[in-house]
Structure 1
Amino acid sequence: MELRRGMARLIGGVLSRRAPARLDRTRSDLVVVVSGFDDAEACSTALERGIEDDPVWVVDADAVLRHHLRLPADAVRGVLDIAAQDGYAPTSAPESVADGVVVLRLERVQVLDALHCSQERSRMVGLAQRHGGTALGWEGLQPHAAP
């Protein structure tokens, strides 16, 4: 009996120290705090800009990393299937921009840093190219912080 209570206290203590809940990517108060739509600009440079601009990027906080991909409409299902394996979900239905061409926005929650942002950017470039498309750029979104 005493062993059970001790285990319950131990487990309860561990559970109460869990990490805070992940950011909900569907929150209505998310704003773009950093973006990169220039292929020649490093993610580190874009992130540095995010610290200086308003709204300010909060470095150690969760963010929604959103990629914009221009794809043939018939490639969307395959891209969604592959991206889902890495935790990406579409923001909405693809936006038609030309006959048979759409813009698909994929996003997931993560802490942004230069290394991982660059890796994900490269991953999306490769994914889009393998399906006959291009990666247009990326954005980082966080809740709007009051001044």
Structure 2
Amino acid sequence: MISIDDPGLQVVVWSYDDTEAASTALARATGWEPEHPAVLRHHLALPGDVVDTAEALLAQDDWVLRPGGRAEELSVSGSTPLVALRVQRLDALHCSQESSRMAGLAQRHGGQVFGWDALQPGSD
């Protein structure tokens, strides 16, 4: 089993366009190994005063919320750039469901989402 802190993880699939279907992103992924678990990582930005609330909500389903991610690169002012991470097997249905969940969480708390990516150990 992998963990979100494994040092050899690399991005194997991504979808930073909210109009792209998860099945399309997974179909174009060349380094993704569907039979192995991956670290699914959602990029979002939330106002600082709701980060603890979001963290508690996500922790109920084994998500870990950490600073950083694409929102940091995009310089979202007034919000805290974050990534929500969890180890799971990837498939289009679950990626889509989790994307919707993150979008709903961000919307309810005055934030934004910036897509998702998934990491797996690199080949040696």
The TM-score, its normalising length taken from structure 1, stands at 0.76
Q: How far apart, CA to CA, are the structure 1 residues paired with 2:122 and 2:76? A: 33
Task: Tell me what 2:6 maps to.
Answer: 27
> Among 47, 53, 63, which residue is 2:26 paired with?
47
Q: Percent identity?
A: 48
Alignment of 1:94-133 (within 5 A): 97-133=75-111
Q: How many residues align?
A: 120
Q: Would you tell me which structure has more helix in proportion to its own residues?
A: 1
Q: How far apart, CA to CA, are the structure 2 residues paired with 1:62 and 1:129? A: 29
The one-letter code sitting in structure 2 at the alignment partner of 1:121 is S
Q: What displacement does 1:99 show?
A: 4.7
Q: Does 1:140 align with 2:124?
A: no
Q: What displacement does 1:94 show?
A: 5.1
The one-letter code sitting in structure 2 at the alignment partner of 1:111 is R
Q: Which has the higher contact order (CA 8 A, sep 6+)?
A: 2
Change over 3 Å in CA distance of 1:36–1:99 after alignment to 2: closer
User: What CA deviation, in whole Å up to 9, does each residue of 1:93-114 have, x standing for no partner?
Assistant: 3576455311111100000000
Return 5+ residue gaps in structure 2 as ranges. none
